[in-house]
Amino acid sequence: MTIQIGDKIPHATLNTLKDGVQAVDTDELFAGKKVVLFAVPGAFTPTCSAKHLPGYADKLGEFEKRGIEVACLSVNDAFVMDAWAKSQGVPEGVHMLADGNGAFTQALGLELDATAFGMGLRAKRFALYAEDGVVKQLHVEAPGEFKVSAAEYVLEHLA
């Protein structure tokens, strides 16, 4: 079942690369904070690299002014996420989160079966806004679309 507005973010362990692979507990990531989590089907893929990640990197200051942390999620490993962040010049303030086996993505109910494209299980393109671990906004893209999960769209719809 897909996560809904009002639901609590499920507990999971993600990874990031900082002095080696570090575990990121979703309870700690979201507890007592305002967080925008956006997900991409794959690091280094065209729309993700040309529009999705750059939009959040460019708008990071606007989110920070509102006291909101920004996190990028992909069903990739921490090394890929780190290399992608470096290649894109992503500022330190964007959490680059690896969901290597897709367990968190599946717990959210937002997995995408991309086996027909040789990519296996991936995340649907989405953005969610949570306060203290509770989903306040959820923007899931239709297949092949890039509109409602864009940084600009999310910023426009924050209260």
**Residues taking part in catalysis:** 48
How far is C-alpha 149 from the chain's CA centre?
Answer: 10
Give the closest residue to 8 by CA, choosing from 108, 77, 103, 92: 108
Where helices occur in the chain by DSSP H, the ranges are 26-30, 46-47, 53-65, 78-88, 103-108, 151-156
Give the sign of the dihedral formed by CA 86, CA 93, CA 60, CA 77.
Answer: positive
Which amino acid belongs to residue 35?
V
